[in-house]
């Protein structure tokens, strides 16, 4: 297995670094101050490979607050609103695609 810093990154549009918060598993995004936020709108966004790699290394270095950091694509609307760039990230952000046992209405 290749270490993240040695992997060749292919960036074709805007990306963010995402992970899961260690305390509760919530989806989090690396922000411009180097902290973690649950708000995609506050995430640090880049379209450059070197910047993406630097952000990823920063996210991977913080294995106390968040785990499993990786680069994820995002889409930016003409008015600047960020949305997940693929189905996986949509599901991570919005939750399961099926009702879980014990959920309201079950």
Q: Taking Cα atoms as reference points, which of 26, 15, 21 lies closest to residue 63?
A: 21
Strand arrangement, sheet containing 66-76: 36-37, 27-30, 15-21, 66-76, 82-84
**Is the pLDDT confidence value at 96 over 90?**
no
d(CA 7, CA 2): 6
Residue 99: predicted pLDDT: 77
pLDDT for the residue numbered 94: 85
Q: What percent of the chain stands above pLDDT 70?
A: 90
Secondary structure of the chain in HEC code, one letter for each residue: CCCHHHCCCCCCCCEEEEEEECCCCCEEEEECCCCEECCHHHECCECCHHHHHHHHHHHHHCCCCEEEEEEEEEEECCCCCEEECCHHHHHHHHCCCCCCCCCCCC
1 — pLDDT class (breaks 50, 70, 90): low
**Per-residue model confidence as pLDDT tens digits over 27-77:** 999 999 999 999 999 999 999 999 999 999 999 999 899 999 999 999 999
Task: State the pLDDT at residue 95.
Answer: 76
What's the rounded mean pLDDT across residues 74-82? 95
């Amino acid at each position: 297995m290749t270490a993240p810093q040695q992997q060749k990154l292919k960036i074709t549009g805007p990306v963010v670094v995402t992970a899961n918060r260690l305390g509760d598993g919530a989806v989090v995004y690396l922000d411009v101050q180097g902290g973690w936020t649950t708000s995609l709108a506050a995430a640090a966004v880049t379209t450059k490979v070197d910047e993406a790699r630097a952000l990823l290394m920063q996210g991977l270095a913080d294995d106390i607050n968040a785990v499993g950091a990786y680069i994820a694509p995002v889409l930016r609307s003409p008015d600047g609103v960020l949305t997940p760039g693929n189905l996986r990230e949509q599901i991570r952000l919005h939750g399961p695609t099926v009702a879980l046992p014990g959920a309201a209405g079950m």
